[in-house]
Structure 1
Amino acid sequence: MAANPTRSFGGARLHIVTGKGGTGKTTVASAMAIAMAEQGHRVLLAEVEGRQGIAQTFDVAPIGTEEVRILSHRSGGEVWGLAVDAKAALMEYLQTFYRLGRAGSVLERVGAIDFATTIAPGVRDVLLIGKVYEAVGRTTGHKRGKGDLVWDAVVLDAPPTGRITRFLNVNAEVADVAKVGPIRGQADSITRLLHSARTVVHVVTLLEEMPVQETVDALAEIRAIEVPLGAIVVNEVTDPVLPFERLRAVATEDEERRYAMSSALRDDLTSVGVRVGDAMIGGLLTEALAIAERVEIEQEQAAVVKAQGLPVIRLPWLPDGIEGGGLGTLADALRAQGVG
């Protein structure tokens, strides 16, 4: 039984979800937002990579730089979506701090905005995560910190593990670009949020060697920059059908035992009226061997995941994907393990 994750991140308001490409981090982030909304919370689900992953996951129209409601729950909870764009964030930033007005449009026409968001990736990340920072602390009052919080939680579908540390380490990334001024001040404010108990980073993985190793590496890097960690989310967990020891016995490569197992399997199938041939028996035993090998690898990788000392959330493999209620199934699994 996995440890209850709420013991590690129950007070967090910003849930950052990362993972190696292909592990399903956008799906997990979306299911996490749904799990929270089902508990009556108002949740903002944001992305920063320009992939429109949230829109594709929820099968809605492309999401822009304005927050849009994408799900309502009978509990009163809601999920809103936001696609943060570096260019739009810079234009907003220039208007907020420098009151450029129409001059901002001139800068955009001459390509200065694209230049600024491309040539200095550290500044670009400050702009991207700065929008998320603003959402976490936004209140209903006219001044920040006055009134009620607009969002009960913010879930960020963040860059993959290969880039997550650089994305989160905004202070170091802008050190050579902005030592003073508004950009530096914003980076400092973001860093305080990221290092506080209001933030946790969840890492999504599969029980395969490469994703698990990348998870281990990312955890070490995130610990080094002192951003709080939440849970390791193991996605697409399959049911082995048979206990491992029995599966391994069925899948034996020993010729004598394999012959005995073939005969027993033939007798069992024949007894229930199934017509069998050598090809069928051989195919079944070969498939059993492949499953046994996969389960053994998964057990080895599960031990590596457990050794990281974090709560582990296990999400089931969905044969039909997230179509037909799959996201709800994942949200239910998350809530059952303490998320929400």
Structure 2
Amino acid sequence: MSPQQSTPTRLHIVTGKGGTGKTTVAAALALALAAEGRRTLLVEVEGRQGIAQVFETGALPYEERKIAVAPGGGEVRALAIDPELALLDYLDMFYKLGRAGRALKKLGAIDFATTVAPGLRDVLLTGKACEAVRRKDNAGWRAYDAVVMDAPPTGRITRFLNVNDEVAGLARIGPIYNQAQAVMRVLKSTETAVHLVTLLEEMPVQETVDGVAELRAAGLPVGAVVVNMLRPVLLDDADLESAANGRRTAVAKALSQAGLGGARKGGQAERLVDPLLAQAHEHAQRVLLERRERAEIATLGLPTYELELRGEGVDLGGLYRLADSLRKQGMTGGES
């Protein structure tokens, strides 16, 4: 990496319907982007300490802290943004309040400001991430090769990112307005990509489709779709058709041939037919549904990446395997 070097995308914003695993995907992407000696900052903006849970570490403070080493010696740092402390930073930066700002916090003024002016809150949250994207040292080196934001759910993502419109009602001139303008320049630039995490289920896919439409209408850059928790297909097309049509006689015969007793009524094979058919039918219906949802995702015309369901859950080792999968599929392609 050199001071002049640039990358196609520096700010990766990860959103998704609740329950789709967006925090896990954001963490895996941060690890993938940090491979081979690169540095990534993983930012949390919702105050849930989800990143700490995924990386199996203690609650994160309001500071950029190293939480993982990526393959090849890279590193992931994490930041849990506290809106009140971010506002204190902002007041100190633009108004040089120092101790006076801390006094305002004690009086409750900071909490009041971020509560009654949600647009200001979003400027602070997004602004902190954008500042990390732009940050350089005295030699002109980038502080981070990439910043990954674990963002709010799909239903709120466009309003959260479109801070310029939110702040317009608060101020049309001055530092707050200028900060919002600077944030929007980053968010709408080629340095940014909003990735949407979904499952191959009707509601998450529909919310993804709606979210993409809203982001595009707002002029925000859409990146990729990540299909998470993908379950394996256990039957080929011929077997799926048989399962969907419930071909009872064929199943009983196959069980008998497998040595599970005769297919006569009341025999062992006969007793296994109905439970097996029910499971096979359920599997066939799920596969057909997932194919329809995958076709719906394809209409978006976006790069799509898939992560398999891990039945044992995602521990730290599983997180590294997910990162490796994203890297092998090319989601980090072109990152320096």
1:159-213 deviation line (CA, Å, top 9, x unaligned): 0101100111010011110111111001001101111110000000000000000
Cα contact 1:15–1:155 (8 A) shared by 2: yes
Q: Of 171, 175, 178, which aligns to 1:185?
A: 178
Matched, 1:200 2:190: no
Distance in 2 separating the partners of 1:304 and 1:104: 50
Asked whether the equivalents of residues 204 and 232 of structure 1 are also in contact (C-alpha less than 8 Å), the reply is yes
- Measured at CA, do residues 80 and 132 of structure 1 come closer, stay the same or move farther in structure 2, by a change above 3 Å? same
- In 2 relative to 1, CA 85–324 (structure 1 residues): closer, same or farther, beyond 3 Å? closer
Match of 1:213 among 203, 206, 209: 206
- Secondary structure of the 2:234 match is coil
The aligned residue for residue 261 of structure 1 is: 251
CA RMSD, Structure 1 to Structure 2 (Å)? 1.7
Residues 103-134 of structure 1: CA distance to partner in whole angstroms, max 9, x if unpaired? 11221122111110011111100011111011
Aligned to 2:78: 81
Unpaired runs of 5+ in structure 1? Answer: 1-9
1:47 aligns with 2:79: no
Distance 2:98 2:184 in 1: 29
Quote the offset at 1:238 in angstroms: 1.3
SS at 1:310 equivalent: coil
Once the two structures are TM-superposed, the CA of residue 296 in structure 1 deviates from its matched residue by: 0.7
Match of 1:331 among 316, 319, 323: 323
Q: Deviations over 1:69-89 (max 9, x none)?
A: 011235221000100111000
Q: Which amino acid aligns with 1:289?
A: H
Decide whether the 8 Å contact of 1:206 with 1:235 is kept in 2.
yes
Single out whichever of 54-63 and 94-103 deviates more from structure 2: 94-103
Give CA deviations for 1:263-297 in whole Å, capped at 9, x if unaligned: 333332528xxx93533221111100000111111
Q: 2:61 aligns with which of 47, 50, 64?
A: 64
Q: Equivalents in 2 of 1:90, 1:245: separation in Å? A: 61
For residues 21 and 244 of structure 1, the distance between their equivalents in structure 2, rounded to whole angstroms, comes to 32
The answer (yes or no) to whether the contact 1:248–1:289 under 8 Å persists in 2 is no
Q: Which residue of 2 aligns with 1:160?
A: 153
Partner of 2:240: 247
Q: Distance in 1 between matches of 2:300 and 2:189?
A: 21
Give secondary structure in 2 for the equivalent of 1:325. Answer: helix
Aligned equivalents of 1:74 and 1:23: distance in 2?
Answer: 26
SS at match of 2:25: helix
User: What is the distance in 1 between the residues matched to 2:71 and 2:25?
Assistant: 22
The letter of the residue matching 2:220 is: V
Cα distance in 1 between the residues matched to 2:102 and 2:331: 43
* Aligned residue pairs, count: 322
Query: What pairs up with 1:301-312 in 2 under 5 angstroms?
Result: 301-312=293-304
State the distance in 1 between where 2:70 and 2:169 align.
46
Determine the structure 1 residue equivalent to 2:271. Answer: 279
Runs of 5+ consecutive residues of structure 2 not aligned to the other structure: 1-6, 262-266
Paired residue secondary structure (1:123): helix
Asked if the contact 2:36–2:71 (Cα under 8 Å) also holds between the matched residues in 1, the reply is no
The answer to whether the 8 A contact 1:266-1:281 is kept is: no
Residue type at the aligned position of 1:252: N
TM normalised by structure 2 equals 0.92
Instruction: Please tell me whether the aligned partners of residues 252 and 269 of structure 2 are also in contact (alpha carbons under 8 angstroms).
Output: no
Partner of 2:4: none
TM superposition score normalised by structure 1: 0.91
Q: Following the alignment from structure 2 to structure 1, what is the Cα–Cα distance between the partners of residues 316 and 191?
A: 34
Classify 1:170/1:15 alpha carbon distance in 2 versus 1 (closer, same or farther; 3 Å).
same
Distance 1:187 1:269, change over 3 A: farther
What does the per-residue CA deviation read over 1:36-77, in whole Å, with 9 as the maximum and x for residues that have no partner? 122321000011000000000000111111010011235221
Pairing partner for 2:225 from 225, 232, 244 = 232
Q: Among all aligned residue pairs of Structure 1 and Structure 2, give the percentage whose two residues are the same amino acid.
A: 53
1:132 corresponds to which residue? Answer: 129
Report what 2:264 is aligned to.
none
Amino acid corresponding to residue 325 of structure 2 in structure 1: A
121-130 vs 73-82, greater mean Cα deviation: 73-82
